[in-house]
Amino acid sequence: MGGGGRGNHTDRGHGDKGYSTRSSSSTGPKRGGGLGKRGGGGPTYKSKVRLDKASLHKALDGDVAMSSGNRSGRSPQRLNTSASARGKGRGAKKVGKNARAPRITDEEAKQILYNFLEKGYDPVQKSLDVSKFSKVHPRVNLWTFGAILVDLIKSECPEIEILNLSENKLVRLKSITGIVDAAPDLRRISLKDNELTIVSELRVLEGLNLKELIVAGNPLAKQMDYRDAITKMFKSLDMLDDTEITKFGVEEEINVPPTVLFYSGLPDAMKASVLAFLEKYYRAYDGADVSIRLQMSAFYSPNAVMSFTCPRQHSTARVSKGFNRQDVRNLEREKHNTLSASFEEYQQVNRNLRVVKSKAKREDTLFMGVSQIVAMLVKLPPTVHSLQEMMVDLWQVSPNSIMVKIVGPLQEAHKEAKNGSVKRMFARTLCLVPDNTGGMVIQNDMVTLTDPLTERMTRRKPLVASADVQPPAQATGQAQVPPTAAANLDPAQKAAVAALVQQSTLNEAGALHLLNFAQWNASESLRQYKELMPLGQIPPQYLRA
């Protein structure tokens, strides 16, 4: 079993591409001398219990019977290995189809595994090919005798870096628990074409510094998020199912600031990479001098596409309803003084398909290429974004692209506004792809701009009670929360009301009303309170006496 050849043997196939280590010839000396760590000719297997040739022949003969069966698709019959049954002529005995082969012992399984491993071991490539073992020896399956395989690897070839376990009908990997200690240098493992159904089975491999893993052909590979789950489990992976894993330049685990809300199951390292990109982007974009946006070309790919959507210009609608132009200007000025503004400056780039009906205008407002995108960005008003107030959702749609959805407020400089700026809400969808420096760039950018919900509600009138929270006339002049409204609140909502009351001069009714307006966003409701209170837009019945 050492350096000398064993003569002719049956080639069991080459397994997966890149993992096979067997010689293409079925005769002649074996490459690398099998498990020949100990060198020299003759057998190298050191078992305390030796199998005689008759016992081994009997075990192997039973395997052949079980694997070959009859070729017509019927249940295989066990071959009788007795001398009389193997003999020819009238004295040969027939075997019943329901007869069972005797259970193979651990020592027999160990000897068969050792013989198989000797043919699949390549000391030059430091690889071990155990593919299709369960097909060749169906009675010595790896889900039963996997522990013996791990012991043999630990004693005979612990230095292996490549292990091929493909096509072995593996349903679970519990039997090879201990492989991390047995072969700590493993870098590439193939589990192709087995029967693994859940990603958590791969946890027995945690602790290995894996660079490549193949699980294609298993039921788990049909799950939509299996790649995300595996890359999160094995952060060192470079290749999964023969596809390169894009890491966007982030190698280590990074803690994402808790102020940014991420709705994603992707690894924190990828979230941190996207967050770093957004910080750089808005640092370059924001500011009073819009000429600094000329450097935005570094954030877009050469063939990037961008579109911009906002509501129609308010003045156009009002003129069409009978307002004269002086009335329109007065209304616009009033609107600016109530923290809102028209979208007049955006109409040249607006691609709102409900407003823009002209095919030519739709084509003109689809900005393609870096030069068109940067020229458009420079024309937009100065803005300030707060990353801490954004909500971000991201998902990986392919190995080389990430979709990012961002929602949040922004401050826009406006000369007619009372305090010099107006507040907007924006929603942005980005498609990020890797660039040639290991970072990321924008391939597709879609921006939607609107007025904040609160500003639309309070544009011309102060905050008033909603239909379900009517303030009853009381001697104190304060609104009270109706019992029915209070009863419908869950514990978290009650806690939010109490917290807002403690942080402001609002009573419970005012806190409930403001939280409803802010869709139960505690920080947003507090911000609205601080914004509306100095303007005198909170009715006194919503304030504590």
Residue 372 sits in a domain of what CATH number? 3.10.450.50
CA-to-CA distance for 396 and 230, rounded, in angstroms? Answer: 13
Q: Per-residue pLDDT averaged across 531-538, rounded?
A: 74
* Assigned domain for 482 exists: yes
Domain final residue, candidates 244, 275, 291? 244
CA-to-CA distance for 254 and 247, rounded, in angstroms? Answer: 13
Q: Name the residue with higher pLDDT: 465 or 367.
A: 367
- 495 lies in the same domain as 441: no
- 59 lies in the same domain as 100: yes
Q: What token pair was written down for 392? A: 């971000």
Q: How many residues does the chain have?
A: 545
Which pTM value belongs to this model?
0.39
DSSP 199-211: GGGGGGGBTB--S
- 447 lies in the same domain as 471: no
Q: Per-residue pLDDT averaged across 127-131, rounded?
A: 88
Domain final residue, candidates 209, 244, 279? 244
Task: Return the number of other C-beta atoms located less than 10 Å from residue 481's C-beta.
Answer: 19
* pLDDT band, residue 472 (cuts 50/70/90): very low
- 180 lies in the same domain as 308: no
* Assigned domain for 183 exists: yes
* pLDDT band, residue 80 (cuts 50/70/90): very low
- 194 lies in the same domain as 232: yes
Cα dist from 248 to 245, 281, 285, whole Å: 9, 16, 22
Q: What is the pLDDT at residue 527?
A: 83
* 174: DSSP letter: G
- 448 lies in the same domain as 493: no
- 447 lies in the same domain as 489: no
Match 């579109």 to its residue by tokens: 307
Q: Name the residue with higher pLDDT: 152 or 224.
A: 152
Q: What is the pLDDT at residue 213?
A: 94
Nearest Cα neighbor of 425 from 413, 410, 445 is 410
Percent helix / strand / coil, the chain, rounded to 5: 35, 15, 45
Provide the residue range defining the domain that includes 273: 261-455
- Three-state DSSP string of 9-21: CCCCCCCCCCCCC
DSSP 469-530: S-----TT------HHHHHT--HHHHHHHHHHHHHSSB-HHHHHHHHHHTTT-HHHHHHHHH
- 237 lies in the same domain as 89: yes
Match 């009908």 to its residue by tokens: 169
* Assigned domain for 254 exists: no
* Assigned domain for 2 exists: no
- 497 lies in the same domain as 358: no
Q: Residue 9: is its pLDDT beyond 60?
A: no
The radius of gyration of the chain from alpha carbons, rounded to an integer in Å, stands at 36
How many structural domains does the chain have? Answer: 3
Cβ atoms 340, 451 nearer than 8 A: yes
Q: Residue 397: is its pLDDT beyond 60?
A: yes
Q: Per-residue pLDDT averaged across 517-532, rounded?
A: 80
Domain final residue, candidates 429, 455, 481? 455
CATH number, domain at 192? 3.80.10.10
Percent residues over pLDDT 70 in the chain: 62
Cβ atoms 541, 471 nearer than 8 A: yes
Whether the CA torsion 311, 312, 313, 316 is positive or negative: it is negative
Q: Per-residue pLDDT averaged across 463-490, rounded?
A: 48
The answer to which of 105-114, 271-280, 299-308, 436-445 has the lowest mean pLDDT is: 105-114
- 201 lies in the same domain as 298: no
* Assigned domain for 527 exists: yes
Q: What is the pLDDT at residue 400?
A: 82
CA-to-CA distance for 177 and 535, rounded, in angstroms? Answer: 68
* Assigned domain for 16 exists: no
* Assigned domain for 249 exists: no
Q: Per-residue pLDDT averaged across 249-267, rounded?
A: 53
The answer to which of 72-81, 304-313, 413-422 has the lowest mean pLDDT is: 72-81
Q: What is the pLDDT at residue 251?
A: 44
Q: What is the per-residue pLDDT across 24-64, written as a single tens digit (0 to 9) for each? A: 443 443 444 455 544 444 444 444 444 454 554 454 454 44
DSSP 359-399: HHHHHHTSEESHHHHHHHHHHSPPEEE-GGG-EEEEEEEET
Q: Residue 70: is its pLDDT beyond 60?
A: no
Whether the CA torsion 310, 314, 320, 326 is positive or negative: it is negative
- 352 lies in the same domain as 332: yes
Q: What is the per-residue pLDDT across 149-189, written as a single tens digit (0 to 9) for each? A: 888 888 888 899 999 999 888 888 888 888 899 889 999 99
Looking at every residue in the chain, the average pLDDT score rounds to 71
Q: Residue 408: is its pLDDT beyond 50?
A: yes
Q: Per-residue pLDDT averaged across 358-384, rounded?
A: 86
Q: Per-residue pLDDT averaged across 407-421, rounded?
A: 71
* Assigned domain for 220 exists: yes
- 355 lies in the same domain as 406: yes
